[in-house]
Chains A and B, each alone.
Chain A
Amino acid sequence: MSTSEEITREIRAQARELLESGQVSCIIGYEVGSRGRARPAFVHDADDVERLIWGPDCVHNLTVYLHDFKKPRKRGEEPPHVAVVVKPCDSRAINVLLAEQQIERERVFIIGVACEGVQGRGDPSRSPNLAARCIRCGDRVPVVYDVLLGEPPEVPPAEDDYADLARIGEMPPAERLAFWLHQFDRCIRCYACRQVCPGCYCTTCMFERDDGLWVDIGIEVPQKYMFHLGRALHLAGRCAECNECERVCPMGLPLSLLNRRLAREVETLFGYRAGREVALSPLLFELGEEGSPI
């Protein structure tokens, strides 16, 4: 397994080459932040590539920023070409965006990094403390990339045992409802979960309409309940399970339970998990033969 330092050097070299050749106008990667941990970085200049780093705290899914580069900078120009550093979970989101024609493959140079997990508080007994999503992640190498940095780790892919879902599933409906209403009570409707999600790119979210057609502006449990369940439903069959929504939530809502519940439902019904493969179209856009997964 390559070290962080080795991958850092490779990212910088790759970034320098892409910028100097003019192949891309921006590298979306990671840099060291003001609190000593990684944060997203946008490098527009070859002289700046030394800002880019790689390490076990590179938790952010940078593919959400691809939505910022869909339009040309100036009228009459083409949209820019960018490069983005992705972990396996992030790369699944790229496949979803490609299937939904949100990004053009030729305009994105994918710098894939092999990964055995990032830091988090999934299981305190593991070192480094791995994020819960990494403990159950089935991909060690990005599923789509233009260049792959780092050697595939020896740690075998994991399987999601859905133990936490089972605990919720075993609750009788009234208890399950009470559990979720209690969680949503803490929600402050900051929309960080939606904003960090590469799959949430509606120009006007249905839960933020001026006419309040579905929910009004109140930051109260009924509206928050609708928002979270509605968002989870809108991501069914589309969620790449990068778990950023749960990570960014300032109130610690266990949002992955909702998304994974629906992802498992879709897999049971259609044999399909979003982003694992390059798909030609979103799941529910194709009619298939009776009996076939799609």
Chain B
Amino acid sequence: MKFTTLDELRAWLNHLAQEHDLIAPRDVDGHVLYRPVASSGEILFDYERPELSTKDYFLPATEVLLRTERRGGDVTLEEVLPDRKQVLFGIRPCDAQGLTVLDALFLQQEPPDVYYRHHRERTTLVGLACPQMWEGCFCTSMGGAPDDPTHLDVLLTAVDGGYAVQVVTEKGAALLEGLALEEREGEPPPQSLPPQSWGGPRGGAPKPVPVTPPEKWRALFEDGLWQRHGERCLSCRICTYVCPTCRCFDVTDRVVEVRPGLTRIERIRAWDACTSTNYRRIAGGHNPRPTKPERLRNRFYCKFCYYPEDFGPLGCVGCGRCIVSCPVNIDIREVLRDVAERSGE
């Protein structure tokens, strides 16, 4: 197997940081977040699951789409796309799988989203395998695994004395050219272990979570389970914003500067959430999803029925963030188990 030490890795990352936007897990006031880093000294190498996904670096929470300048009757438009290459270091396999899920809509559905495409093209994903599953994790039920290299360019796995390095794509190979690698005896860490062999937060592997196919969801649209789970929802946006695959966004203009003869405007898009009360309110005041159970139902149907029917992959990678951050314990695993039971699986 290819092997490198932590010191070599650090030196390589320091070098990368000079020419690239380097994004890696950091401690931010006690919270582990994927954030820009200027040097490897800021990077956490020993962490569980960053509290937010890597979505922000491909579909930013706030993104300027167009810079508009208006001079009298003349308007010029300019797309805003950063020039630099980007490296996402320490990305967990579930977050990388989340990007593949978003690709199915933003890249593969015509017309492609030029901004998302630009960020995907300029970014290399260097993943770090999870040694175990964390609180809420159920990636193994969603077609993933804590050490799944599939959606990455490079996968690092911690081994004795350093890291095993698995090159997954040519893009990954190109990025690794500056990293000192040695060949070591032994097989690379075993991959794609059966789900039940992974350790969880309390020792044994988490219970598998049943995933009911989209066709069977249709019959449950009016089922009472949506009321049971939805009535305690607060209609906040936590689950949507921490999720690697939720992608709804809002678009608006804002005036950023007014001078005689010149107005500068930005057209921006920002994250939005279908859980929010007025999300679907239309001109005239009508809201087809006025209650919390209806909005909650839409979010789950989008993930497990609409997204796969329309675009292919399931809209969930089992990262578990929504489970640990929902203030009222709406648990996607519980919902999936109820759906499986109610659809007679």
Residues of A within 8 A of B (CB): 33-35, 37, 39-42, 60, 64-65, 68, 182, 186, 188-192, 194-196, 204, 208, 212, 216-220, 247-248, 250-252
Chain A residues with Cβ under 8 A from B328's Cβ?
Answer: 39-40, 60
Q: How many A-B residue pairs have CB under 8 A?
A: 95
Chain A residues with Cβ under 8 A from B327's Cβ?
Answer: 60, 192, 196, 247-248
Closest to A59 in B: B327
Chain A residues with Cβ under 8 A from B238's Cβ?
Answer: 190, 192, 248, 250
B219: Cβ under 8 A from any A Cβ: no
Q: Are A219 and B329 in contact (CB under 8 A)?
A: no
Give the one of B232, B270, B292 with max A CB within 10 A.
B232
A65 to B327, CA, bound (A): 14
Q: Are A218 and B62 in contact (CB under 8 A)?
A: yes
CB distance from B200 to the nearest CB of A (A): 13
Closest to B337 in A: A34
A42 to B241, CA, bound (A): 26
Q: Are A252 and B61 in contact (CB under 8 A)?
A: no
Q: Are B51 and A250 in contact (CB under 8 A)?
A: yes
Q: Are B329 and A35 in contact (CB under 8 A)?
A: yes
Q: Are A195 and B234 in contact (CB under 8 A)?
A: yes
11 A-B pairs with CB atoms under 8 Å apart are A33-B329, A39-B328, A60-B327, A60-B328, A186-B31, A190-B238, A191-B236, A192-B327, A196-B234, A208-B278, A219-B61
Please tell me which one of the listed residues A41, A186, A216, A247 contacts residue B28 in the complex, with CB atoms under 8 A apart.
A186
Q: Are B334 and A34 in contact (CB under 8 A)?
A: yes
Please tell me which one of the listed residues A42, A204, A220, A251 contacts residue B231 in the complex, with CB atoms under 8 A apart.
A42
Please tell me which one of the listed residues A34, A41, A190, A196 contacts residue B333 in the complex, with CB atoms under 8 A apart.
A34
A258 to B24, CA, bound (A): 32
Interface size on B, residues (CB 8 A): 36
A252 to B241, CA, bound (A): 15
B235: Cβ under 8 A from any A Cβ: yes
Q: Are A191 and B237 in contact (CB under 8 A)?
A: yes
A252 to B325, CA, bound (A): 11
Q: Are B252 and A217 in contact (CB under 8 A)?
A: yes
Known: A188-B241, A219-B61. A212 touches B254 (CB 8 A): yes
Closest to B231 in A: A42
Q: Are A252 and B232 in contact (CB under 8 A)?
A: no
CB distance from B30 to the nearest CB of A (A): 7
Please tell me which one of the listed residues B30, B234, B331, B333 contacts residue A192 in the complex, with CB atoms under 8 A apart.
B234
Please tell me which one of the listed residues B29, B234, B272 contacts residue A186 in the complex, with CB atoms under 8 A apart.
B29
A192 to B235, CA, bound (A): 8
CB distance from A38 to the nearest CB of B (A): 8
A217 to B237, CA, bound (A): 14
Give the one of A190, A196, A217 with max B CB within 10 A.
A190
A182 to B325, CA, bound (A): 21
Chain A residues with Cβ under 8 A from B242's Cβ?
Answer: 188, 250
Chain A residues with Cβ under 8 A from B252's Cβ?
Answer: 212, 216-217
Known: A216-B254, A218-B268. A195 touches B235 (CB 8 A): yes
Interface residues of B in 215-267 (CB under 8 A from A): 231-232, 234-238, 241-242, 250, 252, 254
Q: Are A219 and B270 in contact (CB under 8 A)?
A: yes
A204 to B270, CA, bound (A): 18
Q: Are A64 and B268 in contact (CB under 8 A)?
A: no
B116: Cβ under 8 A from any A Cβ: no
Q: Are B61 and A188 in contact (CB under 8 A)?
A: yes
A216 to B62, CA, bound (A): 11
CB distance from B272 to the nearest CB of A (A): 8
Closest to B256 in A: A216
